[in-house]
Structure 1
């Protein structure tokens, strides 16, 4: 066996071990008890900002889970850019069906900035009545104790920002299955790995809780309006002000059904470009949890010898087992046949990993930008 093949075989073994570390981290984090204190912060009211754009079949079901939360005082602020947005009709239906929910709609003149989500958040912040602010994406579904779990963690004044573990559900298309497999293993597993072994919290924009007074001292949402990864920039701001970021072990669900394969590719290419700009050399470490990619390369360089083909088969089976166990731990609800697509997902993700080195522009919400350091957007 050549030196290259020996190196690739070693990488297969190393990456398999790293996958087990991901699995162990998920087990440890998701098994942590969630303390729900009836203390002082628990009673503080919360403004929930929901940036919306467009309609999806799951939208109403997602938003409805926020209308009956077990929490004494909170308001829902749905933020849209245009009065013609079809998401508004869904919000109006919820206003009728859930009269107990305090619902506001934020539609204002267009704010400057290249990130449409941040523009929506600026609108919502202008209507927020309370100091505790929660950003929650439109595709998120939560359980009734969601707010109590979060507010318990922000009682410590050293904590500036709290986020959640996100699992993907909704396997109605090939793109959705691949998206959820990647979210539930790589994204969730990586988040748990960093938190368990390095005490580092990776903030996700799908669920962020913080204090309005603190973010306004940092320049507010207008200061991040031209960044694509607004959640990561927000975290950096809090850290510069000496505030900790905390991960809640409470799982929330991202409903990713009806995603096309093309959308899966575009989304993950964009995310790869963002991670390069945010992580720099650390981006290379992502390959350490993709043994399927190295097993395929081993087969290619060995001209598909019997031994290396067996290595590929064993590696694929190993990864299917690891991801199915991890899926059970987080109650992802994926079927057996979904996990058979794990090797395909890993191969596609491995190919996408190289895209930032060849693609310097990013397309998002109908506009094209050059992505600069820390995901700052420059229009093309």
Structure 2
């Protein structure tokens, strides 16, 4: 019979091996990311008629500034922004009215419509908003995204490429709510974007994200409109899949948008990240399981409980690689998302969320509790939140 000490030793060596493989993977993935972002180049101003869709829910620390960044574009064509809320007393509506007052020259429409069309409230909001959309090119983006003035020029140039049906965008994190929001924002900056670009460049993934989904109205109609996604949990992923089913590709221009995090407590961070993780696990279970090697620093720290000396050496190597990732992202983002000393805590949190995601059936989306159905991709309202 194998003694408990031997089992512990074997587990330790397994964790050590995963950390070693993860460190090598992370070094290569960081190099791939750096090469990808170096492709960025100025794009000529465009004259396309564009409708920006901004589904809103509640106020956020810099909501007006985020929305205003979409109005300060080098774009030369007609530009309409449609903002939508589902309650007349939603504080986001007051933010939009303030935006209208500060930008009287801009075309900003506010839609207040309580009609529900399915379990996904964001998609229901989009369905209501589309009645006011006037232009051929539709650009959907989440309320917590901020962009630079060359954003539309780059997105529209990518959408014009042959065989492209939609454009999505990478993003880095920006903490707007203090310590916990900075910890949360380090995830998109120093983990998510690296794995996403690696998967895209290596042909392992075809992401489509709520940071931006730009497509022509004819493409949206061909995939069934937003109505086709009213009960889908990962609506952005599902829209991308539907576009690809039309024989069209999804382009990612080499620029980083800013994704604002406003979480003020660990509980808020945990629930948000658990929803993301559970969704990704449902969509791509094999790839998600393989992403375990994406936490080399946390694995090395865990392995030090079994084999302290070799794991500490490996942890130092993993930490050096993670610092190189931080330098690459911060350079292209133009700002530091979080201090270097948060990296071990960030990686430990990510590993904890990864493990917990295998035990989740109910997720929280901005106060709405949704139960994941058997396919893990569609949702229905849930009575109680439970992780």
Corresponding position: 1:367 with 2:372: no
Q: What number of residue pairs does the alignment pair up? A: 373
Contact 2:53/2:141, CA 8 A, preserved across alignment:
yes
- State which of 61, 70, 88 in structure 1 corresponds to 2:65: 61
* 1:352 CA displacement: 1.0
Corresponding position: 1:215 with 2:217: no
- Write the mapping of 1:304-315 to structure 2, written as runs, cut at 5 A: 305=308, 307-308=309-310, 310-311=312-313, 313-315=315-317
* Cα distance in 1 for residues equivalent to 2:370 and 2:160: 39
* Cα distance in 2 for residues equivalent to 1:86 and 1:5: 51
Alignment partner of 2:215: what SS? Answer: strand
* 1:20 CA displacement: 0.8
Instruction: Evaluate the alpha carbon distance shift between residue 361 and residue 200 of structure 1 in structure 2; reply closer, same or farther with a 3 A threshold.
Output: closer
CA deviation vs aligned residue, 1:198-243 (integer Å, no higher than 9, x gap): 2743111121100112111221101101111100000010011101
Q: TM-score normalized by structure 2? A: 0.90
Partner of 2:207: 202
Alignment partner of 1:56: what SS? Answer: coil
Instruction: Evaluate the alpha carbon distance shift between residue 157 and residue 130 of structure 1 in structure 2; reply closer, same or farther with a 3 A threshold.
Output: farther
Contact 1:319/1:343, CA 8 A, preserved across alignment:
no
Contact 1:168/1:180, CA 8 A, preserved across alignment:
yes
CA deviation vs aligned residue, 1:154-178 (integer Å, no higher than 9, x gap): 1134110101111112365222122
* 1:374 CA displacement: 5.0
Contact 1:320/1:340, CA 8 A, preserved across alignment:
no
Instruction: Evaluate the alpha carbon distance shift between residue 354 and residue 200 of structure 1 in structure 2; reply closer, same or farther with a 3 A threshold.
Output: closer
Alignment partner of 1:47: what SS? Answer: strand
CA deviation vs aligned residue, 1:119-142 (integer Å, no higher than 9, x gap): 111112111001100001111111
Partner of 1:318: 320
Of residues 352-361 and 207-216 in structure 1, the stretch that sits farther from structure 2 once superposed is 352-361
Alignment partner of 1:57: what SS? Answer: coil
Of residues 347-356 and 292-301 in structure 1, the stretch that sits farther from structure 2 once superposed is 292-301
Contact 1:47/1:74, CA 8 A, preserved across alignment:
yes
Partner of 1:21: 28
Corresponding position: 1:280 with 2:271: no
Of residues 200-209 and 166-175 in structure 1, the stretch that sits farther from structure 2 once superposed is 166-175
Of residues 155-164 and 43-52 in structure 1, the stretch that sits farther from structure 2 once superposed is 155-164
Partner of 1:351: 352
| Ranges in structure 1 where 5+ consecutive residues have no aligned partner | none
Instruction: Evaluate the alpha carbon distance shift between residue 258 and residue 275 of structure 1 in structure 2; reply closer, same or farther with a 3 A threshold.
Output: closer
Contact 2:40/2:255, CA 8 A, preserved across alignment:
no
- State which of 125, 146, 153 in structure 2 corresponds to 1:148: 153
* Cα distance in 2 for residues equivalent to 1:222 and 1:257: 29
* Cα distance in 1 for residues equivalent to 2:26 and 2:280: 20
* Cα distance in 1 for residues equivalent to 2:33 and 2:318: 21
Partner of 1:377: 379
- State which of 85, 90, 108 in structure 1 corresponds to 2:113: 108
* 1:315 CA displacement: 4.4
Partner of 1:338: 339
Partner of 1:329: 331
* Cα distance in 2 for residues equivalent to 1:208 and 1:26: 21
Alignment partner of 2:202: what SS? Answer: helix
CA deviation vs aligned residue, 1:166-197 (integer Å, no higher than 9, x gap): 11123652221221211012211112111222
- State which of 5, 22, 39 in structure 1 corresponds to 2:12: 5
Instruction: Evaluate the alpha carbon distance shift between residue 27 and residue 323 of structure 1 in structure 2; reply closer, same or farther with a 3 A threshold.
Output: closer
- Write the mapping of 1:53-202 to structure 2, written as runs, cut at 5 A: 53-72=57-76, 73-170=78-175, 172-198=177-203, 200-202=205-207
| Ranges in structure 2 where 5+ consecutive residues have no aligned partner | 1-5, 383-387
Corresponding position: 1:44 with 2:48: yes
Contact 2:87/2:112, CA 8 A, preserved across alignment:
yes
* 1:334 CA displacement: 2.1
Of residues 259-268 and 195-204 in structure 1, the stretch that sits farther from structure 2 once superposed is 195-204
Alignment partner of 2:339: what SS? Answer: helix
CA deviation vs aligned residue, 1:85-119 (integer Å, no higher than 9, x gap): 11111111111111111111112241321111111
Q: TM-score normalized by structure 1? A: 0.92
